[in-house]
Structure 1
């Protein structure tokens, strides 16, 4: 069993604080990588494992979910609080602390979903990516855009 499963065996469905990562992967054509899980498109990521750094978790999750290896990571922000409370269909509750990163370095690999958690993996242009984002992903994109503006970078293609 994993760390979260071990905790659940002790506390049942009571609310936990869980730390996870999300990665905004941008390819050379300024497209954003999204994964489809349970018919919902979202940014790739997952929970940090015991002893793992946030950056290591990013690289592991991206490789597991999408089949690609990524390079340099830049922090977008940390997202947490009561607005992120999650209750899963099985009754498990948690408050996530989500650390979001962006990378434009795709080092190797071929896009391929894991077919366990992820059914599809696809790059989307800014003008055509799925609009029905989770609140978490919407806030990550908003913070990313605000950072672009503050840095004085040109808009996305």
Structure 2
């Protein structure tokens, strides 16, 4: 079971802080890979971090799960958060 689903079963609908990552994948022409999300919009591959996983590992795992691509080198661009 995914960590956030386990956590949700304990806390119900209370707000959660869930770290995750998005990855900008560039090809040799520096074009950005976008994926068609289930609601018909487009977005970057990524997702939530699991227990005993670094954000870098989460980024690599999510890109592989969503695209089949294996990522070697990652570069931190920024950290974003809400209020």
TM-score class, shorter: over 0.9
- Determine the C-alpha separation between the residues in 1 that align with 2:62 and 2:2: 15
Q: TM-score, normalised by structure 2?
A: 0.93
Q: TM-score, normalised by structure 1?
A: 0.51
User: Does 2:24 match 1:39?
Assistant: no
The structure showing larger relative contact order (alpha-carbon pairs under 8 Å, at least 6 residues apart) is: 1
Corresponding residue for 2:23?
23
Following superposition, the deviation at residue 2 of structure 1 comes to 2.0
Q: Secondary structure at the match of 1:46?
A: strand
Shift of 1:72: 0.6
Unaligned stretches of 5+ residues in structure 1: 83-157
Alpha-carbon displacement from aligned partner over 1:74-133 (angstroms, at most 9, x marks no partner): 100110023xxxxxxxxxxxxxxxxxxxxxxxxxxxxxxxxxxxxxxxxxxxxxxxxxxx
Structure 1: distance between partners of 2:73 and 2:19? 21
After TM superposition, list the pairs within 5 Å mapping 1:8-157 onto structure 2.
Answer: 8-37=8-37, 38-82=39-83
Hey, what does 1:119 align to over in structure 2?
none
Query: Which protein shows a greater Rg?
Result: 1
How many residues align structurally?
82
1:2-26 alpha-carbon deviations (Å, 9 max, x no partner)? 2111111111111100000010011
Report the structure, 1 or 2, having the larger strand content: 1
Structure 2: give runs of 5+ residues left out of the alignment. none
Give the structure 2 partner of residue 6 of structure 1: 6
> What is the rounded CA distance, in whole Å, between the counterparts of 2:56 and 2:2 in structure 1?
20
